[in-house]
Chain A
Amino acid sequence: MLSAVYKIPNGKLLKIFLELDNNIIKNIKITGDFFIYPEEAIMSIEQALLQIPIIQERLKQKIQAVISAQQLELFGVDIESIVKTILLAANS
């Protein structure tokens, strides 16, 4: 299991756990002390990232799509930080 911890400047502490297969996401858990409304949408974000290659733009698009579709509100965390931490974990 790959993982990375990232303290978001002026934000919360993000901890991401990742399993890859040939640079494709097989399993991901996005954890930390942030807030997302509604909370259960974190599972939709994680689901949307499955089978996606570790390419910054692709990850960003996938997360953005879920946030827009479900009109999510994020506090203490943002798309850039999530993508950055996924990349950190992938290279860990």
Chain B
Amino acid sequence: MITFRLLKTNHNSAAFNMALDEILLERINQGLAQPCLRFYGWQPAAISIGYFQSLTAEVNVQRCQELGIDIVRRQTGGGAVFHDQEVTYSIHLPLALNLVPVKILDSYQRICQAIIIGLAEFNLTAQFVPLNDIVVHGKKISGNAQTRKKGIILQHGTILREVDVDKMFELLKVPNEKLKDKLISDVKQRVIGINQITAKPYTYAEVVAALIKGFKQEFSEIEFKADTLTTAEIELAQQLAVEKYSNNNWTNQR
């Protein structure tokens, strides 16, 4: 049986979160760390943008600064996300372990299946919608993004507990201001958080616990072993957070 580290790193800054995903991949690549599944949150709340997105076209930078919202560019593609009342996961899977299909779309689906099983803990019937979404009753509850570097899949994604679409659009730019109200009402119809469906609200910790169950069930060939970050991992991530993920050269590169 293959052993994965199970890391609960809780709430950290956007730059640290994204730096840690990169550092863990690098350490696994160097043979210094085992593959891992990690759960985390964002403090302060943050906007992350996809690798290919234009910062100034997508984000109201000034409003984010006024409200103390972090902004970070991810190393993964996909869209802008407002990270607030949610649980985020990341999983690092070396392709050589043959745990997920090599085909990108199929590998998204396999990993997302773990989340779908986790959501069933709350009696939610969720479905994978290619390329990278999970929906409940046709509404998006989870967005996911994957990169592959040095033979390792890094997939991270968000599972919404509660979503504040009005706040989100205060922080994001829209292509056409005249259509903004319509867009906001459309998005309200298309996005939902767990606690906006379930009879009782679930805490961050409860959602993490449910998702762990989902991963254990879907990846029964993996033994997930609770672990903590090493001092070296924390220091390297803090360093990379400063040098890259909170640096304008990276954030504003497109």
Contact = CB atoms under 8 A, between A and B. Distances in A.
Contacts of B254: 29, 31
A58 B175 CA distance: 28
Given A38-B148, A73-B104, A75-B131, A17 B54 contact: yes
Residue from B79, B149, B254 having most chain A Cβ neighbours under 10 A: B254
Given A38-B148, A39-B75, A32 B104 contact: no
B51 A39 contact: yes
Q: Dominant SS at the B interface? A: loop
Contact of B80 (A30, A33, A73): A33
Contacts of B53: 15, 31-33
Interface in B168-196: 175
A35 B145 CA distance: 9
B156 to A, nearest CB: 13
Contacts, number: 60
Interface string B48-77: 001111100100000000000000000111
A42 B54 CA distance: 13
Nearest to B51: A39
Interface in B72-92: 75-80
Interface string A38-56: 1100100000000000000
B82 to A, nearest CB: 14
A34 to B, nearest CB: 6
A29 B146 CA distance: 22
Interface string B196-221: 00000000000000000000000000
Interface in A57-88: 73, 75-76
Interface in B148-172: 148-149
B242 interface: no
Contacts of B149: 38
Given A75-B131, A76-B131, A32 B52 contact: yes
B171 to A, nearest CB: 16
15 contacts: A13-B175, A29-B54, A29-B254, A30-B52, A32-B50, A32-B53, A33-B50, A33-B52, A33-B79, A34-B77, A35-B76, A37-B148, A39-B52, A42-B52, A73-B104
Interface of B: 50-54, 57, 75-80, 104-105, 131-132, 145-149, 175, 254
